[in-house]
Amino acid sequence: MTTVPKVSNFLRKIRKADWTPLLLIWALSVFYCFFCHYLQISALGHTGYYTYTLQALAWRNGQIALLRDYPWLELAIYEGRYYVSFPPVPSIPLFFLTFLFNDKTPDAFLVKLYVLIGCLSVYRLLRKKEYDKLSAAGAALLCSFAGCLLSMTTNGAVWYQAQTLGYCMTMLSLMLALSGNMTPSLFFYALSVGCRPFNVVFGFVLLVIYIRECRNSSISFKKACIRLIPGVVLGLCVAAGYGAYNYARFGNPLEFGHNYLPEFSFQGGIQFSFNHIAKNCKTFILSMPFTKNGENWELRRFGFSFLIASPVYIVMLVRIIRDCIFRKMSMEKLVLCACFIIQLIMLLMHRTFGGFQFGARYTCDLLPYAAAYFAFSDRKRMNVFEWAVLAFAAVFAVYGAAQILLS
């Protein structure tokens, strides 16, 4: 007789369960199956730009330098030895995967997985902030797959692994911070910096979130500081690991290798400079996505305005303007906007801003700010304009990713 209530309770739980994350996973899996089949590319396979895999294999042999040069990869040359010129965190998951796949790691699968985890993190944090399921899913897609980040998920090359894993770690950190779990949040934040160093700026947003949560819970300043200690210590330990690794390679705890790339070390290029800002602003803020080549119009493959490439920033800007007009700009939102601008300027100081690409891939590092602004917003749903932007962004992202692959 007791089995009937148990079955009834089980069915009730099933009906109340949120199946949206599984629906997102299914829909994106189907999309990639058709998209990759149409373009005749591997959805799960290995890439020739497998720098992080080479680093992982070197670690397995007890080495931090690679045994030889790989001319097609961006390797740092220091004291006659060849080193990976990127921060080390993306090599950590590959270290374990090399035991299964050796040097044929599933790089294309990893970049998709990283962005998917980031997307689900956005959905989860917006649901916690009382968004309805449909709006939370729409905003998650807008922050993740409806922009130039989609193009990076079609290729598991070293640059895209760093950006997609950095995106994943930052979104996980944001979700955990908004849930009040600051220790794991700061751990994932520290890992994100080990993918994309300028992500360090986002730490101020996490601090503001923590202060707001403590204020809402009426926690004293002393108790708030004590609660923060484990996460800060954990994050500093991760940072110390980066510093020690960099010192072992280049004799400088802040040098991860880019300054020893041939283009910067002996060919005369300057990696970061205020002189690059004007040129990059012209291309990655003001430039249109199409250029005329003879009688035909074609997509710019060396970058255009990040507002068009990732229209979630247009939605974010409209929400900011609305909040200013209706006097709903809180201190948290002001700090978020200030950090967004600071990190954008730091990115604009880079000489190449990503090179050959769809849109402006460096600005994908700023997507967590858009997700955070959605979370801070008083309006807990997407309106008609934002749904229209999502539809346009999704179609344009698919088109752009295909054009880059076919070029």
- List pLDDT tens digits, range 182-214: 999 999 999 999 999 999 999 999 999 999 888
Residues 6 or more apart from 246 whose CB is under 8 A from it? 252, 253, 254, 255, 256
DSSP secondary structure code for residue 252 in this structure: -
Evaluate whether residue 58 is within a structural domain.
Answer: yes
Total domains present in the chain: 1
Evaluate whether residue 249 is within a structural domain.
Answer: yes
Domain that holds residue 316: 34-406
Closest CA to 102 of 153, 161, 60, 42: 60
Please report the DSSP string for 282-314 in residue order: HHHTS--SEEEETTEEEE-SB---HHHHSTHHH
In this prediction, residue 114 carries a pLDDT of: 97
Evaluate whether residue 215 is within a structural domain.
Answer: yes
CB 103 within 8 A of CB 50: yes
Q: Please provide the size of the chain in residues.
A: 407
User: Is the pTM above the cut of 0.85?
Assistant: yes
- Give the amino acid at 148: C
In this prediction, residue 93 carries a pLDDT of: 96
Residue 2 pLDDT > 70: no
Determine what percent of the chain is predicted with pLDDT higher than 70. Answer: 95
Evaluate whether residue 240 is within a structural domain.
Answer: yes
Closest CA to 212 of 331, 60, 62, 82: 331
In this prediction, residue 268 carries a pLDDT of: 56
Residue 134 pLDDT > 80: yes
CB atoms within 10 A of CB 160: 27
Evaluate whether residue 236 is within a structural domain.
Answer: yes
Closest CA to 177 of 378, 376, 390, 391: 376
In this prediction, residue 124 carries a pLDDT of: 97
Distance between CA atoms of residues 140 and 27, nearest Å: 13
In this prediction, residue 273 carries a pLDDT of: 86
Evaluate whether residue 334 is within a structural domain.
Answer: yes
Encode pLDDT of 59-81 as tens digits.
999 999 998 999 888 899 888 89
Evaluate whether residue 14 is within a structural domain.
Answer: no
Evaluate whether residue 395 is within a structural domain.
Answer: yes
Instruction: Give 293's pLDDT tier (boundaries 50, 70, 90).
Output: confident
In this prediction, residue 406 carries a pLDDT of: 85
Residue 264 pLDDT > 70: no
For tokens 């520290």, the residue is: 190
Residue 265 pLDDT > 60: no
Mean pLDDT of the chain: 91
In this prediction, residue 266 carries a pLDDT of: 56
